[in-house]
Amino acid sequence: MPSTTSVVDQLLVAQHLSKRFGGLLAVADMSMEVRKREIVGLIGSNGAGKSTTFNLLSGFLPPSGGRLYIDGQDMTGRTPEAISRRGLVRTFQHGSLMRSMTVEENILIGAIGGMPKAGRKARDARVREMAELVGLQKALRETAGNLPHGMQRLLSIAIAFAPRPRLLCLDEPLTGLNQAEVAIVLAMFGHIRDAYGSSILLVEHNMKAVMQTCDRIYVLHHGKLLATGTPAEIRENQQVLSAYLGNTNAH
């Protein structure tokens, strides 16, 4: 266990997760937790095991060992759909937009997934709410594939958050964004936590953004957990500095 806190008191707890692909041990003995109303970063160099870990947590890969708990319930080996119903929703590094559909239609797909018994009026209200959250309220009729890259990233977040998950897992959401767009997205993360009470698990290469936004950070290195702590603790961790961050990128 990453802490002495009961799994019931945590939103997500991974205990000694591992994943083996043939002779390759991609993730080894990975333990982590995400608490309620918390923004957590998962960082590491290319090939460190971040994407595999994300797939294990969201049910897209079954673990070779270990246990996964979401809101106190054992979800080890459960399907992505079952894990999503439990309150964990993820985005993908390269997006999952229906490019030929409008912004409104894309967000509606996410809303339907989280509101299966709701009527059209309630779903439409959720679509408008999510569009406003990410600043796309004036682009609802636009075709998703025609949006600039930054707006497509925002739309992916709106789709994922439309079901109002308790834990939103974001795979490199800041990739390709300019400085102004990054600032908008980081402010939105804070709003999602503060206004909705949701937690965020963030895989991201933008170290300045991770240090600025996250309450705690997990560092992976060659499939193993190298360090965990607050941004200040990670910034000063010599193992992390030598293995990944570099003295100039951590500040």
Judgement on whether residues 93 and 70 belong to the same structural domain of the protein: no
> What's residue 231's pLDDT?
96
Residue 202 has pLDDT above 50, yes or no: yes
CA trace torsion 84, 80, 9, 214 (10° rounding): -80
Judgement on whether residues 188 and 133 belong to the same structural domain of the protein: yes
Residue 250 has pLDDT above 50, yes or no: no
What are the contacts of 132-135 at 24+ separation with CB within 8 A? Answer: 133/158, 133/161, 133/188, 133/191, 133/192, 134/158, 134/188, 135/184
Indicate the DSSP class of residue 203: E
> 40 vs 71, which has greater pLDDT?
40
> 242 vs 198, which has greater pLDDT?
198
Residue 79 has pLDDT above 70, yes or no: yes
Q: Integer distance in angstroms from the first to the last C-alpha of the chain?
A: 30
pTM above 0.85, yes or no: yes
> What's residue 219's pLDDT?
95
Judgement on whether residues 200 and 108 belong to the same structural domain of the protein: yes
> What's residue 246's pLDDT?
55
Residue 138 has pLDDT above 90, yes or no: yes
Local confidence band at 7 (pLDDT 50, 70, 90 cut-offs): low
Inside any domain, residue 72: yes
**Lowest model confidence (mean pLDDT) among 7-16, 67-76, 154-163:** 7-16
Local confidence band at 46 (pLDDT 50, 70, 90 cut-offs): confident
> What's residue 92's pLDDT?
80
Judgement on whether residues 153 and 236 belong to the same structural domain of the protein: no
Residue 12 has pLDDT above 50, yes or no: yes
Inside any domain, residue 188: yes
Inside any domain, residue 48: no
Judgement on whether residues 131 and 199 belong to the same structural domain of the protein: yes
Q: Which domain holds residue 237?
A: 218-251
Pairing of strands 12-21, 24-34: antiparallel
**Lowest model confidence (mean pLDDT) among 16-30, 101-115, 184-198:** 101-115
> What's residue 8's pLDDT?
53
Judgement on whether residues 72 and 181 belong to the same structural domain of the protein: no
Judgement on whether residues 66 and 141 belong to the same structural domain of the protein: no
Inside any domain, residue 45: no
**Lowest model confidence (mean pLDDT) among 100-109, 176-185, 217-226, 240-249:** 240-249
The label of the residue with tokens 């266990």 reads: 1
- CATH value at residue 196: 3.40.50.300
Question: What is the tally of structural domains in the chain?
Answer: 3
Q: Residue 95 phi/psi, 5° resolution?
A: 80, 165
* Residue 174 burial by Cβ neighbours in a 10 Å radius (0-12, 13-18, 19+): buried
Judgement on whether residues 180 and 154 belong to the same structural domain of the protein: yes
Inside any domain, residue 50: no
Judgement on whether residues 236 and 163 belong to the same structural domain of the protein: no
Judgement on whether residues 229 and 155 belong to the same structural domain of the protein: no
